[in-house]
Chains A and B, each alone.
Chain A
């Protein structure tokens, strides 16, 4: 069974640009969550999607948005990039029930110059 797949693996953007990251969950998983990992703030929850609906949201500005498609694949978008958005963005998938194990992808490393 294939794991969680995130593309691209690396991205370099400049301030003010926007970026879209993609996540394909494990087959059969309906929940996709996104996390940001930085050296300063550690791992922080961005949002979770289940059956194409945002089910939970962290404390990030509106520049961070996401969506989920009917095949459970998810995209995350960051508009008007800032230097502080440089981070490893991790996606996790699960079946979507309470108190489940989350399985993470390898992440997308975003560098904002």
Chain B
């Protein structure tokens, strides 16, 4: 079945890089997404990658995709305290359109 797995917690020092990892199951997924959720807020789309790409860079964010291993990662360079949030990886579920399958979320804590 469809499943997305993430590690639950990551703690980094301010200024360091953060790497959040995700594995997914549906090899037919065409787009994979990273969302950010701050306390009391909805989901903010951070970035996404098309399945025929290996890497996508967007300012401080770098997404790496290993389609063979169904592994996705999000690297945040120069992590700041404002990056503290929960990060969700998501793949598009079967049935297409706007059914996304989300991971449980990785809570990123940034300390001085």
Chain B hits for A105, CB < 8 A? 42
User: Which one, B96, B102, B105, contacts A98 given CB within 8 A?
Assistant: B96
Which of B18-26, B43-51, B57-65, B66-74 lies on the face that meets chain A? B43-51
Chain A hits for B96, CB < 8 A? 56, 98-99
Residue interface bits B66-108, CB-to-A below 8 A is 1, else 0: 0000000000000000000000100011011111111111000
User: Which one, B33, B98, B105, contacts A42 given CB within 8 A?
Assistant: B105
Residue interface bits A82-113, CB-to-B below 8 A is 1, else 0: 00000000101010101111111111000000
Chain A hits for B30, CB < 8 A? 99
Give, as a whole number of angstroms, the nearest-CB distance from B104 to chain A. Answer: 5
Chain B hits for A96, CB < 8 A? 97-98
Query: Does B9 reach chain A (CB closer than 8 Å)?
Result: no
Given contacts A43-B88, A43-B102, whether A106 and B97 have CB atoms under 8 Å apart is no
Chain B positions within 8 Å of A, measured between CB atoms, are 30-31, 33, 35, 40-45, 48, 88, 92-93, 95-105
Chain A positions within 8 Å of B, measured between CB atoms, are 4, 6, 31, 33, 35, 42-43, 45, 48, 50, 55-56, 58, 90, 92, 94, 96, 98-107
Given A45-B101, A56-B99, A107-B41, 9 new contacts (CB under 8 A): A4-B42, A31-B98, A33-B98, A45-B93, A99-B30, A99-B96, A101-B33, A102-B100, A104-B43
